[in-house]
Amino acid sequence: MVGMTEKDWRGRLAERVAEAVRRYRNERGMSAQALADACAEIGYEIPRTVIANLENGRRASVEIADLLVLAKALKVPPIALLMPVGVAGTIEVLPGQEVSIWDAVTWFTAEVPLGDEPSEGTIEAKLYEFRLHAQVLSAAQKAVEFADGTRRTLSMVHDPEQRAINNEMQEKLDDYARHQLKDLRGQRNDMRKAGLVPPALPEDLAYVDFHIDEKGDIYPLAR
């Protein structure tokens, strides 16, 4: 009986993925062949017949490789094919275990409630650090871009009095950008201390991982 339940659930899971694939494919105006061609361009072939069999319920399961490539080809995150966010209120996340769709999503992505910090050493804690890093990186990028953009605009002002006012404004923007970059460097150092490898930085912010001493010599930060 348990084996049958597991088999039924696996089939229902495949049906859920199939429904999502069909829904997103139709939204994008793609034929099954066009989707197969998109998969081949990614470097992993999923023949049209395989896609058709999935959508028609003739496949009892879905391989992880297929799921990832189909998601990329459909330009959606893989979780969108597994969890019908916005389409259903609950989901059978495991055999016989029906939970709210958001509980299923947060379990799958190891999210923690806003304002709560996960227990140290857990996978949730590691992912928390990476999410925090993404936020800090975004803030730093925006601060630097705004300061640089303002500098280019203000450089075209020729009136001495206005230039003095603009220079004061630019100094504040530059200070804010430096503060954001300092936070980014601190977050990356905290991750390293915790034994984590920070994500690669965008090329224009790669200098954040380097130290410039008083002589002007540049050294990579400890990794």
Give residue 86's Cα distance to chain centre. Answer: 19
Q: Does the CA dihedral 126-127-128-129 come out positive or negative?
A: positive
- Assigned domain for 118 exists: no
Write down which residue in 109, 131, 154 finishes a domain. Answer: 109
152-187 as b/e, with b when 16 or more CB fall inside 10 Å? Answer: eebeeeeeeeeeeebeeebeebbeebeebbebbbeb
Q: Are 182 and 174 in contact (CB under 8 A)?
A: no
| Per-residue confidence (pLDDT) for residue 196, from 0 to 100 | 92
Q: Are 16 and 82 in contact (CB under 8 A)?
A: yes
| Per-residue confidence (pLDDT) for residue 153, from 0 to 100 | 76
| Per-residue confidence (pLDDT) for residue 7, from 0 to 100 | 61
Q: Are 94 and 163 in contact (CB under 8 A)?
A: no
| Per-residue confidence (pLDDT) for residue 159, from 0 to 100 | 72
| Per-residue confidence (pLDDT) for residue 5, from 0 to 100 | 57
Residues 31 and 101 in one domain: yes
Low-confidence ranges of the chain (pLDDT < 50): 1-4, 213, 216-223
| Per-residue confidence (pLDDT) for residue 111, from 0 to 100 | 83
- Assigned domain for 7 exists: yes
- Measure Cα distances from 9 to 6, 60, 61 in Å: 5, 10, 10
Domain that holds residue 72: 2-109
8-state DSSP, 200: P
| Per-residue confidence (pLDDT) for residue 28, from 0 to 100 | 96
User: Which pTM value belongs to this model?
Assistant: 0.72
- Assigned domain for 115 exists: no
Dihedral of CA atoms 162, 168, 174, 176 in degrees, nearest 10, equals -120
Instruction: List the CATH number of the domain containing 91.
Output: 1.10.260.40
Residues 146 and 98 in one domain: no
Residues 129 and 83 in one domain: no
pLDDT tens for each residue of 45-70? 999 999 999 999 898 889 999 999 99
Q: What is the tally of structural domains in the chain?
A: 2
